Amino acid sequence: MGDILFLSQRIPYPPDKGDKIRSYRALLHLGEHRRIHLGTFIDDPDDFRHISVMENMCESVHIAKLNPFVARLKSLKAFLTGAPLSLPYFYDRALEKWIAATLDTHDIDAVFVFSSAMAQYVLNLKKKPRCVLMDFVDVDSEKFRQYALERGFLAKFVYGREGKKLLAFDRQVAVHADASFFVSEAEADLFRRLAPETSSKTFGLSNGIDTDYFDPSKVTVPKAALSAYGPGPNIIFTGRMDYKPNVDAVCWFTRNVLPGLLTEKPQVRFVIAGATPTPAVMALAANPAVEVTGRVDDMRPWLAHADLAVAPMAIGRGIQNKVLEAAAMARPVLTTPEGLAGIDLVPGKHLFVAEGAEAFGQAVLDSLDNSGRDQIGAAARDYLIRHYSWSARMALLDDFLP
């Protein structure tokens, strides 16, 4: 049984946001019976302190340091080469040489590629790996296409170009791969329609949730210790706050939903909890009812003491881990149809769903006044315990390994 070369656009630890949660769980599963050689990037200086964790988990590790400002400048090269912007952004010559050397010196059975930007390292290898498994996660080209629909001329051109170029590249990658995975069956079906030539080897591989970790009974931090919370009701949004769909969601909620809520419930507090808030997110804190926490060490107490978790996503790509995490903590959740995409929790039974500012605002009020909201949260947690274990989800990968 040979080793696995694992390529990821960001170090898969700590598993504190969507892509890192999924990549970490894939690495953990594949590493149960195989030695792992990890090639990855670090774009957050705080992550350098976690390299030792990866070194303990893997046979070998190569870290490429990524400076986002320099990477953005490098990505401009794509306008000359015709490539997607993400390829030069995530290109590193030393990493490329390490990958070739690893394939030459180790018995590599399979290459697991997390995110299409990392596939550029395996398309033209002199020594072909026996098996290539590609985890696209989302159909990112569709996300850029949607961005282009709502932007001005220059942004429309850039996003529209990226959507077209990335789809063409992803189709090339999927032809090369032995199997391609997406975070939900809906995403996989979308890619099958966009790339019908690869439909027979395209699969949905849904995220799980660690319900032992996200367990409200294990939270010992009192609500009074969470300085951003007021007497309530407290509404929370969680997620990395430099991710554009998250930024758009909290801005929309603050501007279009929160004013109406304050009329009905003057003490309502909207807490935005997540790392690296952008200036646009920080500006929302000018509203006395909005608190922006920045990075928190442990999201569980914040979820456990919230009266309602909201995920008013306008663009739904893949699975919203924020919905799974809040539901695992047995909290009532209100999201949009886009936020529920790929998650088989049942509206009205496990969580609440609404769309449009007026309907979403009314749903917030209804859920806060719903005497059975704790029972709905408990039902969601029970469902996730029974159906969303990571081991069961990741077992699909084993079917494709040599």
Q: For residues 307 and 166, state if they share a domain.
A: no
Q: Evaluate if residue 172 carries a pLDDT over 90.
A: yes
Report the C-alpha gap between 37 and 106 in whole angstroms.
Answer: 9
Provide the CATH number for the domain around residue 315. 3.40.50.2000
pLDDT tens by residue, 242-274: 988 999 999 999 999 999 999 999 999 999 999
328 and 195 fall within a common domain: no
188 and 258 share a domain?
no
Residue 229 burial (C-beta neighbours within 10 Å; 0-12, 13-18, 19+): buried
Bond prior to 288 in cis (omega within 30° of 0)? no
Kindly state whether residues 30 and 87 are assigned to the same domain: yes
Length of the chain, please?
402
Residues 273-286, mean pLDDT to the nearest whole number: 96
27 lies in the same domain as 170: yes
Number of domains in the chain: 2
Amino acid at 83: A
Residue 259: give the domain boundaries. Answer: 216-387
Give the model confidence (pLDDT) of 96-141 as tens digits: 999 999 999 999 999 999 999 999 999 988 888 899 999 999 999 9
Task: Give the mean model confidence (pLDDT) for residues 372-395.
Answer: 93
197 and 236 both lie in a single domain: no
197 & 320 share domain: no
pLDDT reported for residue 317: 66
pLDDT tens for each residue of 39-69? 999 999 999 999 999 999 999 999 999 999 9
Q: Are residues 203 and 327 in the same domain?
A: no
Confidence grade of residue 147 (pLDDT, cut at 50, 70, 90):
confident
Can you give the pLDDT at residue 316?
Answer: 62
Domain shared by 234 and 285, yes or no: yes
Rounded Cα distance, 252 and 315, in Å? 12
Do both 368 and 396 map to the same domain? no
Q: pLDDT tens digit string along 307-362?
A: 999 999 997 667 899 999 999 999 999 999 999 988 999 999 999 999 999 999 99
Residues 6+ apart with CB under 8 A from 139: 170, 182, 187, 190, 191, 194, 317
What is the pTM (predicted TM-score) of this model? 0.81
Question: Do both 232 and 377 map to the same domain?
Answer: yes
Cα-to-chain-centroid distance, residue 313: 13
pLDDT of residue 126: 82
| Same domain assignment for residues 140 and 223 | no
